[in-house]
Amino acid sequence: MQSKTDSARAKANWAAVIVAGGSGTRMGRPKQMLPLAGRAVLFRSIDVFAAMPEFSSITVTTSGENFAALDNEFGSRITLAEAGQTRLASLKNAFALVPSDARAVAVHDGARPLVTAALVRSVCEAAIKTGAAVPAVPVNDTIKSSRDGKMVEATPERATLWAAQTPQCYTRETLCATLERFADAGDVSDESQLAERAGFAVAIVKSSYENIKITTPQDMAVAEALMQDGSKKAARLTMRVGMGYDLHRLVAGRPLIMAGITLPHGKGLLGHSDGDVVLHAVCDAALGAIAAGEIGVYFPPTDVTIMGISSRAIAEKTLEVLSGHGARLAQIDVTVIAEEPKLLPHYAALRKSLSEIFRLPQEQVSLKAKSSEGLGHIGRGEAIACHAIAVVQV
């Protein structure tokens, strides 16, 4: 029997455009049909979308010489479009075949075979809310700009730089308006830059570094290694659960910092650090899941040198300890007990902050608040407590 979730997803009516018309000059030959762990790179990219009930339409734009193989493999599940001379031309050819009632259009590089359904879903859902969204990862390397390739002209601030990936997703109306406005544009590396120039807001959805694009022979080796590693991890995956709790007194004259952000309130939480009761509970839960003690072991309250330390630093240390144990966070569930302030208006901001701090998709972060019904020190507005559950993969 189909679940309510599956039924809702089947009614999403999204369309996918998979662009696979590249010449493969850096690979030495067209890369889309090269075998990756026994299956063509392009086939693996299509597989992800073909398995998702949200997609009622999949259009693949590629060289005509690949049509027979694709038709034999996927048949009526996909529509084929001839590749153009440029990526943008290929996209326009494919978009002409996208159904007019599609709510969202995901444009994906056929050379990104390790994309996941979870990422696709997150980017499309973000696009439906904002009009356009792209998956991206923070840039790890220091970037230099140089026009002549000989002398450095500038070093952009790395914290502001993100490496864009695909699928880049849009409402059908946004993508249609963008392509119509730039009908005569030359080639571009991705269509999101045209959406930006057209005045549309483009949201960033944090992605994974494993969503690599196959461009060089080395990329093929990396992709195969990631696939093998993923298979091994799946075979031995262990889920562990930890519980955390914290409580801090509310006092005047301090900012109220929770989940890494400052909330408007006349009182703040008293503590040796910034008093972030949420981050403390989550960190203790994560550490408990791997039997690695609690935050007081790493940040003892007797250490005067860390007085007032940001709890973001405590969270960063917690992630470092998890990594050292070969573990990573998979899910967080937080319950705040507070009489004041009312946290419902801040749920979205608090979840977003937790997602960023602990490097999790927001769909894997839960936060809610309960009152103490006027009872006890919490009920009198004298303190705030937090319970947290952390699921960790080891």
pLDDT tens for 111-133 read 999 999 999 999 999 999 999 99
Strands 365-370 and 328-337: parallel
If asked whether residues 208 and 248 sit together in one domain, one would say: no
Q: What is the pLDDT of residue 325?
A: 85
Query: Average pLDDT over the chain, rounded to whole?
Result: 89
| Residue at 58 is within a domain | yes
If asked whether residues 193 and 257 sit together in one domain, one would say: no
Domain boundary among 230, 258, 282: 230
Write out the residue range of the structural domain in which residue 314 sits. Answer: 238-393
CA distance 216 to 39: 17
Cβ atoms of 82 and 195 closer than 8 Å: no
Tell me the per-residue pLDDT of 159-186, one tens digit each, with 9 for 90 and over.
899 999 999 999 999 999 999 998 887 7
Cβ atoms of 337 and 305 closer than 8 Å: no
| Residue at 150 is within a domain | no
pLDDT reading at 33 higher than 60: yes
If asked whether residues 321 and 213 sit together in one domain, one would say: no
**Residues 327, 333, 338, 340, CA torsion sign:** positive
If asked whether residues 382 and 338 sit together in one domain, one would say: yes
Q: What is the pLDDT of residue 1?
A: 40
Please report the DSSP string for 190-248 in residue order.
-THHHHHHTT---EEEE--TT-----SHHHHHHHHHHHHHHHHHHHH--EEEEEEEEEE
- Our count of domains for the chain comes to 2
CA distance 190 to 88: 8
| Maximum mean pLDDT: which of 19-23, 157-161, 249-253 | 249-253
If asked whether residues 48 and 186 sit together in one domain, one would say: yes
Q: How confident is the model at residue 8 (pLDDT cuts 50, 70, 90)?
A: low
For 88-116, what is the mean pLDDT? 95
3-state secondary structure of 351: helix
Q: What is the pLDDT of residue 9?
A: 58
If asked whether residues 249 and 362 sit together in one domain, one would say: yes
Tell me the per-residue pLDDT of 329-338, one tens digit each, with 9 for 90 and over.
989 999 999 9
If asked whether residues 273 and 193 sit together in one domain, one would say: no
User: 95-99, 233-237, 313-317: which range is least confident on average?
Assistant: 233-237
Which one, of 312, 377, 381, lies nearest residue 342 by Cα? Answer: 381
Please report the DSSP string for 260-323 in residue order.
TEEEP-SEEE-SSSS--HHHHHHHHHHHHHTT---HHHHS-TT-GGGTT--HHHHHHHHHHHHH
Distances (CA, A) of 33 to 21, 22, 89, 105, 358: 11, 11, 21, 24, 37
Whether the full predicted model's pTM is greater than 0.85, yes or no, is no
| Residue at 184 is within a domain | yes
| Residue at 8 is within a domain | yes
Helix, strand, coil percentages, rounded to 5, for the chain: 40, 25, 35
| Residue at 204 is within a domain | yes
CATH number reported for the structural domain that contains residue 191 in this entry: 3.90.550.10
If asked whether residues 226 and 101 sit together in one domain, one would say: yes
CA distance 329 to 360: 8
Q: How confident is the model at residue 359 (pLDDT cuts 50, 70, 90)?
A: confident
If asked whether residues 101 and 15 sit together in one domain, one would say: yes
Domain boundary among 230, 247, 263: 230
* Residues in Cβ contact with 250 at an 8 Å cutoff, skipping those fewer than 6 apart: 256, 267, 268, 269, 270, 340, 381, 382, 383, 384
Domain boundary among 211, 230, 249: 230
| Residue at 341 is within a domain | yes
For 190-208, what is the mean pLDDT? 94
CA distance 182 to 104: 20
If asked whether residues 219 and 243 sit together in one domain, one would say: no
